Protein backbone atom coordinates (compact mmCIF):
# COMPACT_ATOMS: atom_id res chain seq x y z
CA UNK A 1 0.00 0.00 0.00
CA UNK A 2 1.20 3.51 -0.78
CA UNK A 3 1.20 5.95 2.14
CA UNK A 4 2.37 9.14 0.36
CA UNK A 5 2.43 10.95 3.69
CA UNK A 6 3.46 14.52 4.41
CA UNK A 7 2.27 16.65 7.31
CA UNK A 8 1.89 20.28 8.32
CA UNK A 9 1.37 21.67 11.83
CA UNK A 10 -1.74 23.83 12.04
CA UNK A 11 -1.99 27.06 14.09
CA UNK A 12 -4.37 25.44 16.60
CA UNK A 13 -1.92 22.62 17.37
CA UNK A 14 -3.53 19.96 15.17
CA UNK A 15 -1.68 18.06 12.45
CA UNK A 16 -2.85 17.94 8.83
CA UNK A 17 -1.68 15.06 6.64
CA UNK A 18 -1.53 15.37 2.87
CA UNK A 19 -0.28 13.69 -0.30
CA UNK A 20 0.81 15.01 -3.69
CA UNK A 21 -0.34 13.48 -6.97
CA UNK A 22 -0.22 14.41 -10.63
CA UNK A 23 2.39 16.75 -12.13
CA UNK A 24 4.86 18.07 -9.49
CA UNK A 25 5.51 21.13 -11.65
CA UNK A 26 1.85 21.66 -12.57
CA UNK A 27 -0.66 24.19 -11.37
CA UNK A 28 -2.14 23.46 -7.93
CA UNK A 29 -5.49 21.81 -7.34
CA UNK A 30 -6.43 21.10 -3.71
CA UNK A 31 -8.83 18.18 -3.32
CA UNK A 32 -11.35 17.65 -0.51
CA UNK A 33 -12.10 13.91 -0.35
CA UNK A 34 -15.52 12.39 0.22
CA UNK A 35 -17.24 10.76 3.22
CA UNK A 36 -15.53 8.59 4.31
CA UNK A 37 -12.18 9.02 2.60
CA UNK A 38 -8.60 10.20 2.91
CA UNK A 39 -5.64 11.61 1.00
CA UNK A 40 -5.18 8.28 -0.82
CA UNK A 41 -8.42 8.72 -2.76
CA UNK A 42 -6.92 9.55 -6.15
CA UNK A 43 -7.30 8.70 -9.81
CA UNK A 44 -5.75 5.27 -10.45
CA UNK A 45 -3.85 6.44 -13.56
CA UNK A 46 -1.38 9.09 -12.47
CA UNK A 47 0.09 9.42 -15.96
CA UNK A 48 -3.34 10.58 -17.11
CA UNK A 49 -3.53 13.07 -14.24
CA UNK A 50 -0.07 14.41 -15.05
CA UNK A 51 -1.11 14.90 -18.66
CA UNK A 52 -3.74 17.42 -17.50
CA UNK A 53 -1.07 19.68 -15.99
CA UNK A 54 -2.49 19.50 -12.46
CA UNK A 55 -0.42 19.31 -9.31
CA UNK A 56 -2.97 17.61 -7.08
CA UNK A 57 -2.82 18.08 -3.32
CA UNK A 58 -5.11 15.69 -1.44
CA UNK A 59 -5.31 15.92 2.33
CA UNK A 60 -6.89 13.98 5.17
CA UNK A 61 -9.74 16.18 6.37
CA UNK A 62 -9.91 16.56 10.16
CA UNK A 63 -10.31 13.22 11.92
CA UNK A 64 -9.50 11.12 8.85
CA UNK A 65 -6.29 9.23 8.18
CA UNK A 66 -3.36 10.90 9.95
CA UNK A 67 -5.03 14.29 10.51
CA UNK A 68 -6.06 15.31 14.00
CA UNK A 69 -9.75 15.47 14.80
CA UNK A 70 -11.51 18.82 15.19
CA UNK A 71 -14.53 17.94 17.38
CA UNK A 72 -17.76 19.80 16.72
CA UNK A 73 -16.53 21.20 13.43
CA UNK A 74 -18.80 22.85 10.89
CA UNK A 75 -18.30 22.51 7.16
CA UNK A 76 -16.86 26.04 7.11
CA UNK A 77 -14.08 25.05 9.53
CA UNK A 78 -12.25 23.46 6.59
CA UNK A 79 -11.18 26.93 5.49
CA UNK A 80 -8.45 27.40 8.09
CA UNK A 81 -6.99 23.97 7.32
CA UNK A 82 -6.82 24.58 3.57
CA UNK A 83 -5.44 28.09 4.04
CA UNK A 84 -2.65 26.77 6.26
CA UNK A 85 -1.90 23.96 3.80
CA UNK A 86 -1.72 26.39 0.87
CA UNK A 87 0.58 28.68 2.88
CA UNK A 88 2.81 25.74 3.75
CA UNK A 89 3.12 24.80 0.08
CA UNK A 90 3.62 28.39 -1.06
CA UNK A 91 0.42 28.64 -3.09
CA UNK A 92 -0.85 32.20 -3.47
CA UNK A 93 -3.58 31.03 -5.85
CA UNK A 94 -5.06 27.57 -6.37
CA UNK A 95 -8.12 25.71 -7.56
CA UNK A 96 -10.15 23.58 -5.18
CA UNK A 97 -12.51 20.68 -5.76
CA UNK A 98 -14.42 18.15 -3.71
CA UNK A 99 -16.52 15.10 -4.38
CA UNK A 100 -19.56 13.86 -2.45
CA UNK A 101 -19.02 14.89 1.19
CA UNK A 102 -16.02 16.92 0.05
CA UNK A 103 -18.20 19.04 -2.26
CA UNK A 104 -19.58 21.46 0.35
CA UNK A 105 -16.13 21.71 1.92
CA UNK A 106 -14.67 22.85 -1.40
CA UNK A 107 -17.46 25.42 -1.74
CA UNK A 108 -16.72 26.69 1.78
CA UNK A 109 -13.09 27.30 0.86
CA UNK A 110 -14.08 29.17 -2.29
CA UNK A 111 -16.64 31.27 -0.43
CA UNK A 112 -14.15 32.32 2.24
CA UNK A 113 -11.05 32.78 0.10
CA UNK A 114 -12.16 34.45 -3.16
CA UNK A 115 -8.81 36.25 -3.43
CA UNK A 116 -6.93 32.92 -3.47
CA UNK A 117 -9.25 30.38 -5.11
CA UNK A 118 -9.25 30.54 -8.91
CA UNK A 119 -12.09 28.05 -9.53
CA UNK A 120 -14.05 25.50 -7.55
CA UNK A 121 -15.62 22.18 -8.52
CA UNK A 122 -18.40 20.52 -6.54
CA UNK A 123 -18.80 16.97 -7.83
CA UNK A 124 -21.87 14.96 -6.69
CA UNK A 125 -21.82 17.19 -3.62
CA UNK A 126 -24.18 17.24 -0.65
CA UNK A 127 -26.67 20.10 -0.19
CA UNK A 128 -27.60 21.62 3.21
CA UNK A 129 -29.97 19.51 5.29
CA UNK A 130 -31.35 22.53 7.13
CA UNK A 131 -32.50 24.00 3.81
CA UNK A 132 -33.90 20.92 2.04
CA UNK A 133 -35.49 19.28 5.09
CA UNK A 134 -37.25 15.99 4.25
CA UNK A 135 -36.47 16.51 0.57
CA UNK A 136 -32.80 15.95 1.49
CA UNK A 137 -33.55 12.20 1.63
CA UNK A 138 -35.57 12.00 -1.62
CA UNK A 139 -34.02 9.39 -3.90
CA UNK A 140 -31.40 8.39 -1.32
CA UNK A 141 -30.62 4.70 -0.78
CA UNK A 142 -32.09 3.34 2.49
CA UNK A 143 -28.57 2.54 3.73
CA UNK A 144 -27.62 6.21 3.58
CA UNK A 145 -30.95 7.29 5.06
CA UNK A 146 -30.27 5.01 8.01
CA UNK A 147 -26.77 6.43 8.48
CA UNK A 148 -27.96 10.03 8.62
CA UNK A 149 -30.74 8.93 10.95
CA UNK A 150 -28.02 7.91 13.40
CA UNK A 151 -26.46 11.36 12.99
CA UNK A 152 -29.76 12.97 13.92
CA UNK A 153 -29.84 10.80 17.05
CA UNK A 154 -26.46 12.15 18.17
CA UNK A 155 -22.72 11.55 18.29
CA UNK A 156 -22.67 8.51 20.56
CA UNK A 157 -25.12 6.44 18.48
CA UNK A 158 -23.42 7.52 15.27
CA UNK A 159 -19.93 6.63 16.50
CA UNK A 160 -21.06 3.18 17.65
CA UNK A 161 -22.78 2.39 14.37
CA UNK A 162 -20.02 3.76 12.13
CA UNK A 163 -17.39 1.81 14.06
CA UNK A 164 -19.31 -1.33 13.16
CA UNK A 165 -19.84 -0.15 9.57
CA UNK A 166 -16.13 0.56 9.22
CA UNK A 167 -15.19 -2.88 10.50
CA UNK A 168 -17.59 -4.55 8.07
CA UNK A 169 -16.36 -2.38 5.21
CA UNK A 170 -12.76 -3.39 5.86
CA UNK A 171 -13.73 -7.05 5.86
CA UNK A 172 -15.60 -6.69 2.57
CA UNK A 173 -12.77 -4.82 0.89
CA UNK A 174 -10.25 -7.43 1.99
CA UNK A 175 -12.31 -10.04 0.13
CA UNK A 176 -13.47 -7.94 -2.83
CA UNK A 177 -12.90 -4.16 -3.15
CA UNK A 178 -15.85 -3.83 -5.55
CA UNK A 179 -18.18 -4.51 -2.59
CA UNK A 180 -16.94 -1.51 -0.60
CA UNK A 181 -20.46 -0.05 -0.50
CA UNK A 182 -22.09 -3.27 0.65
CA UNK A 183 -25.86 -3.46 0.19
CA UNK A 184 -26.35 -0.14 -1.59
CA UNK A 185 -28.60 -0.55 -4.63
CA UNK A 186 -26.15 1.03 -7.05
CA UNK A 187 -26.71 1.78 -10.74
CA UNK A 188 -24.73 -0.28 -13.24
CA UNK A 189 -22.49 2.69 -14.01
CA UNK A 190 -21.26 2.74 -10.41
CA UNK A 191 -20.80 -1.02 -10.30
CA UNK A 192 -18.71 -0.89 -13.46
CA UNK A 193 -16.32 1.66 -11.95
CA UNK A 194 -16.03 -0.14 -8.60
CA UNK A 195 -15.29 -3.39 -10.46
CA UNK A 196 -12.20 -2.02 -12.23
CA UNK A 197 -8.90 -3.64 -11.21
CA UNK A 198 -7.07 -0.31 -11.03
CA UNK A 199 -9.80 1.22 -8.89
CA UNK A 200 -9.56 -1.79 -6.54
CA UNK A 201 -6.05 -0.71 -5.55
CA UNK A 202 -7.28 2.76 -4.62
CA UNK A 203 -10.20 1.31 -2.64
CA UNK A 204 -7.87 -0.99 -0.68
CA UNK A 205 -5.43 1.83 0.13
CA UNK A 206 -8.02 4.39 1.15
CA UNK A 207 -10.19 1.99 3.18
CA UNK A 208 -7.19 0.88 5.21
CA UNK A 209 -6.03 4.44 5.86
CA UNK A 210 -9.18 6.55 6.29
CA UNK A 211 -10.03 5.21 9.77
CA UNK A 212 -6.55 4.30 10.95
CA UNK A 213 -7.19 6.42 14.08
CA UNK A 214 -10.91 5.69 14.36
CA UNK A 215 -14.06 6.81 12.58
CA UNK A 216 -14.15 10.33 14.01
CA UNK A 217 -13.73 12.08 10.67
CA UNK A 218 -16.74 10.17 9.33
CA UNK A 219 -18.73 10.90 12.49
CA UNK A 220 -17.94 14.61 12.38
CA UNK A 221 -18.82 14.81 8.69
CA UNK A 222 -22.26 13.28 9.17
CA UNK A 223 -22.96 15.55 12.12
CA UNK A 224 -21.79 18.62 10.17
CA UNK A 225 -23.98 17.78 7.18
CA UNK A 226 -27.11 17.63 9.33
CA UNK A 227 -26.38 21.00 10.94
CA UNK A 228 -25.87 24.54 9.56
CA UNK A 229 -22.74 24.70 7.43
CA UNK A 230 -21.40 28.01 8.72
CA UNK A 231 -21.45 29.69 5.29
CA UNK A 232 -23.96 30.49 2.56
CA UNK A 233 -23.28 28.99 -0.91
CA UNK A 234 -25.17 31.88 -2.49
CA UNK A 235 -22.32 34.21 -1.48
CA UNK A 236 -19.72 32.58 -3.74
CA UNK A 237 -17.83 34.99 -5.99
CA UNK A 238 -15.47 32.41 -7.49
CA UNK A 239 -16.22 30.64 -10.80
CA UNK A 240 -17.89 27.37 -9.83
CA UNK A 241 -18.93 24.16 -11.52
CA UNK A 242 -21.53 21.78 -10.06
CA UNK A 243 -21.80 18.20 -11.34
CA UNK A 244 -24.28 15.48 -10.47
CA UNK A 245 -25.60 12.18 -11.77
CA UNK A 246 -29.30 11.55 -12.32
CA UNK A 247 -28.93 7.92 -11.17
CA UNK A 248 -26.99 8.75 -7.99
CA UNK A 249 -28.47 7.06 -4.90
CA UNK A 250 -25.81 8.22 -2.42
CA UNK A 251 -26.22 11.95 -3.07
CA UNK A 252 -29.46 12.20 -5.08
CA UNK A 253 -30.06 14.70 -7.90
CA UNK A 254 -32.08 17.03 -5.64
CA UNK A 255 -28.80 18.01 -3.97
CA UNK A 256 -27.03 18.94 -7.20
CA UNK A 257 -30.11 20.75 -8.48
CA UNK A 258 -30.30 22.88 -5.33
CA UNK A 259 -26.60 23.72 -5.47
CA UNK A 260 -26.86 24.63 -9.15
CA UNK A 261 -29.74 27.02 -8.39
CA UNK A 262 -27.97 28.55 -5.41
CA UNK A 263 -24.31 28.96 -6.36
CA UNK A 264 -24.12 32.15 -8.46
CA UNK A 265 -23.34 31.47 -12.12
CA UNK A 266 -22.62 27.80 -11.56
CA UNK A 267 -21.57 25.90 -14.67
CA UNK A 268 -23.37 22.57 -14.48
CA UNK A 269 -22.78 19.08 -15.76
CA UNK A 270 -25.64 16.60 -15.47
CA UNK A 271 -24.97 12.98 -16.39
CA UNK A 272 -28.25 11.35 -17.34
CA UNK A 273 -27.02 7.77 -16.90
CA UNK A 274 -24.45 8.59 -14.27
CA UNK A 275 -24.45 7.65 -10.63
CA UNK A 276 -22.03 8.59 -7.88
CA UNK A 277 -18.84 7.38 -9.60
CA UNK A 278 -19.44 8.68 -13.14
CA UNK A 279 -16.51 8.05 -15.59
CA UNK A 280 -13.17 8.56 -13.80
CA UNK A 281 -10.96 8.69 -16.90
CA UNK A 282 -13.05 11.17 -18.87
CA UNK A 283 -13.97 13.13 -15.78
CA UNK A 284 -10.41 13.86 -14.63
CA UNK A 285 -9.66 15.39 -18.04
CA UNK A 286 -12.84 17.47 -18.12
CA UNK A 287 -12.61 18.55 -14.50
CA UNK A 288 -8.98 19.63 -14.61
CA UNK A 289 -9.56 21.51 -17.87
CA UNK A 290 -12.28 23.45 -16.06
CA UNK A 291 -10.33 23.97 -12.83
CA UNK A 292 -7.10 25.09 -14.50
CA UNK A 293 -8.34 27.01 -17.55
CA UNK A 294 -12.10 27.41 -17.22
CA UNK A 295 -12.67 25.22 -20.28
CA UNK A 296 -16.10 23.64 -20.59
CA UNK A 297 -15.58 20.52 -22.67
CA UNK A 298 -18.93 18.94 -22.05
CA UNK A 299 -22.47 19.61 -23.22
CA UNK A 300 -24.97 20.95 -20.70
How far apart are alpha carbons 134 and 203 in whole angstroms?
A: 32
Give pLDDT, residue 122: 98
Q: Please choose, from the candidates 215, 254, 212, the residue with its C-alpha nearest in 3D space to the C-alpha of residue 35.
A: 215
Residue 64's pLDDT band (cuts 50, 70, 90) = very high
Alpha helices, DSSP H, located in the chain: 46-51, 78-89, 102-112, 129-132, 142-153, 155-175, 188-194, 197-210, 216-225, 253-262, 280-293
Instruction: Summarize the confidence of residues 203-225 as an average pLDDT.
Output: 98
Q: Please choose, from the candidates 144, 147, 120, the residue with its C-alpha nearest in 3D space to the C-alpha of residue 251.
A: 144
Give pLDDT, residue 233: 98
Indicate the Cα dihedral angle 76, 81, 83, 86, nearest 10°: -140
For 234-287, what is each residue's pLDDT tens digit?
999 999 999 999 999 999 999 999 999 999 999 999 999 899 998 999 999 999
Side by side, the strands of the sheet bearing 15-22 are: 6-9, 15-22, 54-59, 27-32, 94-99, 117-123, 240-245, 267-271
Give pLDDT, residue 300: 57
Residue 2's pLDDT band (cuts 50, 70, 90) = low
pTM over 0.95: yes
- Contact assessment for residue 1 and residue 28, using Cβ atoms and an 8 Å cutoff: no
pLDDT at 68 over 90: yes
Give pLDDT, residue 278: 87
Instruction: Summarize the confidence of residues 13-39 as an average pLDDT.
Output: 98
What is the residue-averaged pLDDT of the chain?
97
Give pLDDT, residue 1: 60
Which CATH architecture best describes the domain 6-293?
3-Layer(aba) Sandwich (3.40)
Residue 255 Rama label (left phi>0; alpha psi -120 to 50; beta): alpha
So where are the chain's domains?
6-293
For 108-120, what is each residue's pLDDT tens digit?
999 999 999 999 9
Instruction: Summarize the confidence of residues 139-161 as an average pLDDT.
Output: 97
Amino acid sequence: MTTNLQTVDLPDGRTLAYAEWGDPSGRPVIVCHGTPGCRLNRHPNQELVRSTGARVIAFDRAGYGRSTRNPGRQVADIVGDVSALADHLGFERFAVTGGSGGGPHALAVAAALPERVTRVGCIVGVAPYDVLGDEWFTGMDPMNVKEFGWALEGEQRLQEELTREDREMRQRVERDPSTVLGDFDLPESDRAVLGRADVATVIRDSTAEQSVNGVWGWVDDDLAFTRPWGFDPSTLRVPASVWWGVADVLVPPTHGEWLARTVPGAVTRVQQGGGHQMDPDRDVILLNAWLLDGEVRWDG
